Amino acid sequence: MTHDDLPIRDPDQIRRDCARKVRAVEVSDHFQAILGCLLGEDWTTPRLIEMVITPDGHLLGRCDGETAFKVFLGASEDLIKNIHGVAPVAELDGDEIGYLVGKVAEIKRRAR
């Protein structure tokens, strides 16, 4: 099968494939919560349901049941590095990496 023969996946299929692969990789609870949030998965308790990036590049999270972004998650640049770090371990393809990086870009756009 050549690259051209591969079926085109819709974004939700890419998200599901990515979630399945990432879930199989052992990462910290902290990173698992972030990945779960990016992928719309309920992997941690409390569940991280939303993230924002502050103007100075800090990633903050809001957990289920909270009204404010109280959880400091780290630097936004580290998140991109960590996604690229987990990608080969989880055997993510370009679409799946692009999906995760795109979700981070959405968070950055909301911060402006």
In a domain, 1, yes or no: no
In this prediction, residue 111 has a pLDDT band, given cuts at 50, 70 and 90, of: low
Give CA 67 to chain center in angstroms: 21
In this prediction, residue 4 has a pLDDT band, given cuts at 50, 70 and 90, of: low
CA gap 66, 98 in Å, rounded: 29
Least confident residue range of 4-18, 24-38, 42-56, 88-102: 4-18
In a domain, 2, yes or no: no
In this prediction, residue 6 has a pLDDT band, given cuts at 50, 70 and 90, of: low
CA gap 11, 39 in Å, rounded: 11
Sign of CA dihedral 23, 106, 8, 13: positive
For the residues 36-65, what does the mean pLDDT come to? 94
Per the structure, how many domains does the chain have? Answer: 1
In a domain, 21, yes or no: yes
Using omega within 30 degrees of 0 as the cis cutoff, is the peptide bond preceding 7 cis?
A: no
In a domain, 40, yes or no: yes
Question: Which domain range does residue 44 map to?
Answer: 10-111
